[in-house]
Amino acid sequence: MSEENKNIRSYPWGHERRFNAYSNYFRNIYGARVQKVSIDAGFTCPNRDGSKGSGGCTYCNNDAFNPSYCQPAKSVSDQIGEGIEFHKWRYSEAVSYLAYFQAFSNTYAPIDRLKALYEEALNYPGVIGLIIGTRPDCIDDEKLAYLKKLSEKNYIAVEYGIESCYNKTLLRINRGHTFEEAESAVRKTAALGINTGAHFIFGLPGESREEMLEQAGIISSLPLKTVKFHQLQIIKGTAMEKEFLSKPSDFKLFSWEEYLEFFITFIERMNPSIVIERFTGEAPLRFLTGEGWGKKRTDQIVSLIEKRMEELDTWQGRLYKDKR
């Protein structure tokens, strides 16, 4: 691209990065960096405790994604305090925090328990909001009405694990819900003005590259504020590890080079108004079957993707067709 074109290009998200980036999204709202602090509040999950299923999703091992300061034996306040200390030395400029209820299904409890936990977090000095990770089948009208009320004075986001837009995949990975249930939860939440996010995994067994790419159109048509994407990683000790070891040909595990090209093709088709929070997952190597991407960190992959987008002169939504 010529220097002249570089100067005149402006993206709908209002900054120069080639995708609608989560960190810039918060800078636009609050004028400063906002840091998430993870919490394990001791929830479980209906796909593990027998009410919906048992054994959980075939890839699930929450330990692989939980920061070390998150331990349900500690109070919410203690975890936030330790989380803030943990992040302080890395990001000295963070001034506000979001309490991220991360482990398992964080709306899977009676409303009174949720209120006590969420309000303890919101009362912690410096915490300006909540991000609540949950399943689409763990929300109801009463909980949504409460979250809507909280959202009048705080930043509130509900982040649904959807993982795939295909029911054949959701069945195979034992999610215990359909895509239609996920879509309904997303639409209900967004209709109340609550920030609505979703999480997806690329490389799940049985999905072709074309099917994965097709999801860009489906995801783009949902009223989502944010999305997170992960490449599939096979975590030790999971049901998926057994499946993978017995039939590796059923899996398409991306090398980081393949993922980079795939991901750019994917986000070219994505709705530019959806903020992208994550490009990749980063489970510690000790949890992985195989070598994964070695020591490549998420921020390095993001830089490589952005560099490649620059070379290709492309951006999120370049090929997006609004079909809503």
Task: Let me know: does 70 contact 37? Beta carbons within 8 Å.
Answer: no
Q: Beta-strand (E) ranges in the chain?
A: 34-39, 96-101, 127-134, 155-163, 195-202, 226-231, 275-278
In the complex, minimum distance from the CB of residue 177 to ligand SF4, in angstroms, rounded to a whole number? 9
Task: Let me know: does 132 contact 99? Beta carbons within 8 Å.
Answer: no
In the complex, minimum distance from the CB of residue 27 to ligand SF4, in angstroms, rounded to a whole number? 30
Helix (H, G, I), strand (E, B) or coil at 123: coil
47 binds ligand SF4 (CB under 6 A): yes
Q: Which residues pair with 231 in a beta bridge?
A: 202
264 binds ligand SF4 (CB under 6 A): no
Of residues 111-150, which lie at the interface with ligand SF4 (CB under 6 A)? 135
Query: What letters, b where the CB count within 10 A reaches 16 and e where it falls short, cover 4-13?
Result: eeeeeeeeeb
177 binds ligand SF4 (CB under 6 A): no
In the complex, minimum distance from the CB of residue 61 to ligand SF4, in angstroms, rounded to a whole number? 8
In the complex, minimum distance from the CB of residue 217 to ligand SF4, in angstroms, rounded to a whole number? 25
Separation of alpha carbons 79 and 37, rounded Å: 8
Taking contact as CB under 6 A, which single stretch among the options 42-50, 189-197, 233-241, 242-250 is the one that binds ligand SF4? Answer: 42-50
Separation of alpha carbons 13 and 25, rounded Å: 8
Of 13, 22, 40, 56, which one interacts with ligand SF4 (CB under 6 A)?
56
Residue 13 or 59: the one with the smaller Cβ distance to ligand SF4 is 59
Binding pattern for the stretch 282-321 against ligand SF4, x by CB under 6 A and - elsewhere: ----------------------------------------
For 235, phi and psi rounded to 5 degrees?
Answer: -95, 135
Task: Let me know: does 69 contact 254? Beta carbons within 8 Å.
Answer: no
Residue 24 or 167: the one with the smaller Cβ distance to ligand SF4 is 167
In the complex, minimum distance from the CB of residue 157 to ligand SF4, in angstroms, rounded to a whole number? 17
197 binds ligand SF4 (CB under 6 A): no
For 256, phi and psi rounded to 5 degrees?
Answer: -65, -30
Tell me the residue number closest to ligand SF4, measured at CB.
56
In the complex, minimum distance from the CB of residue 29 to ligand SF4, in angstroms, rounded to a whole number? 28
Of 37, 39, 57, 274, which one interacts with ligand SF4 (CB under 6 A)?
57
Q: Which residues contact 87 (CB under 8 A, 6 or more apart)?
A: 35, 37, 94
Q: How wide is the angle at C-alpha 106 spanned by C-alphas 223 and 77, nearest 5°?
A: 120
13 binds ligand SF4 (CB under 6 A): no
Size of the site for ligand SF4 (CB under 6 A): 11
In the complex, the residues that contact ligand SF4 under the rule CB under 6 A are: 45, 47-48, 56-57, 60, 62, 104-105, 135, 161
